[in-house]
Structure 1
Amino acid sequence: MKRNVISIEKKKKLVAESGSQCSFPGCGQNLSVDGETFIGEVAFIESFMPNGPRHNPNIGFPGYLREDNYMLLCPSHHRLIDLQPELYSAKWLKEAKLKHLDRIKSFLEYEKIPAPELDEKVELSLREAIALWDSNHLNSSEEFWQKLFERCPSVLSQIFPQSLIQIGSRCYLGGKSLLNKGGSIVDFIYANKSTSNVVLVEIKTPRTRTLGNKYRNGAYTISSDLSGSIVQVLNYKDKVLKEYYKLNAETSDIDFSAFNPRCIVVIGNIQREMENPEMFKSFELFRNTLAGVEVVTYDELFQKSKDVLEICS
């Protein structure tokens, strides 16, 4: 089942008109991060889906994709407005967007805001990864995807608002050190460039299912692979926190911190798996209520990479 998307031309226009900044009042965050990623998200103001935030039964599909029905936000404020649609109404958001665009337009009369650009190495890494995704999206080998993310670490970095670097893959927790054998193995560890705080990443494959069987009244269960991956990455987090001082002391060639590390699970393919709106709803309800773990599908990850490339080139 295909999800509706805005054309890249409209996205680039929105980014330019918004000055590459979050449109939420008082935020103004620069959404281009160190030439490594663009963290801006297109947020819809009204939804034509019954279960969507600020649902408008009269908007219809054409109206849903109108330019006045979406705005550019940072990830934090995108989540905020969708979690509290009663507080952030369609009228409030449209007024906030117009005020932001007017402010940017006035600013541009005096000073030019540079367009977002990617570092050359990051751009090449993303292009290589996207080409591999386009020709291998049905590949069910976890080893293949492990090697792809090792070769093109910039892809997983697109998930995070902060500037992150990959500090290890298949790292050992509960053994002698992060790089020595023994204990549990986490697929990837990333670290914030500024704080060195780690992010733990567990990967499955694009063909791994996220949902199980239909339960009742249009609800679907979560697959054992997804639930198992969530428990696994939380177990990694628990080990890092409990054994941080030991791991840090015995891993002298890597400087890292562990302040309530974020956990990521990369699994499945929404476009391939979701056959009806009820499946979308079950999946979104589940992952949006998770505490401490972010679930990202492969098609979302590589679409984000494609968008970043197109917006920044």
Structure 2
Amino acid sequence: MPPRIVRFARAVPLEILTRIRLPRTHGGRIALALAVVYLAWGSAYLAVHVALESFPPLLLSGLRNLIAGIGLLALATRRSFVWPTLVETRNAGIVGTMLVGFSSGLLAFGMRSVGTGTAAVMVATVPLFATVISAVAGRPIAKGEWVAVALGLLGIFILNRGDTSSSSTSGTIVILCAALFWAAGAHLASRLALPSDLFVSTALQIGLGGAISTLIAVAGGERVASLGFGPLFAFLYLMIIATMAAYVAYGFLIRHTSPIVASSCMYVNPIVAVGLGAMTLGEPVTGATLVSTVVILASVALSFWFDRRRAG
């Protein structure tokens, strides 16, 4: 683990976390939620990179989501809510398997041979896969939306050509599959009946998805051989910040802002991930990385622009 990350982890006093207070204004809470989503999910790629030093990929994804789901459900029981039906619970398990079991698991697996910034840029193609899935499901797609898909594929090609790692091709394919499963899971979430309480729905999705991932990982022989301070800190960060806090913040944005604002993390996360990868891991920021980042983010922005026109 890089020394700079170790020094940062040991320098975070617990009293800072316990003194955090929510803003009193509605606008301040939206700004805080955006900051949490941007920083938590943008830095999650670095945390996964560090955690993989001790945790196998599928077990890492399963355990952190399982424990986070249990934690969120425990918090939810302290509020007044209606328990979900068996059908809603089943549907939450299906969506969670797609988003957590397949998507997060494949992302961690692919990042064993792909850099943090590269992985974040490729995950930004989720809206493009969502466009294709919508077309297959019967929604009419404008020509400009297909242009956005083509731009995204071009950006991926440039990114892969500029990646000098030995296993970049296989890692790229795995991470693209993770993005595809995330888009498919999000599509199912908009079609299936889920618990009306967003807090409970989120807890069930990540908890059940994490449970399935953990069972598959254990059955497949994945084990934690040795656990150092760095990977343990990264695991706790992923569980508490990148899962529990980020999902709650994202749910708040979904309820109190437009989908365009809530989904703006697609633009910011790759920038955060590339910057952190360069500063802490010494990952090179090549010309191909910069060009592909611009092309892919432009394709995502174009997809959102057409989606906004359609909604208007």
TM-score, scaled relative to structure 1 = 0.29
Higher-RCO chain (CA-CA 8 Å, sequence separation at least 6):
2
More helix by share: 2
TM-score, scaled relative to structure 2 = 0.29
**Which structure has the bigger radius of gyration?**
1
More strand by share: 1
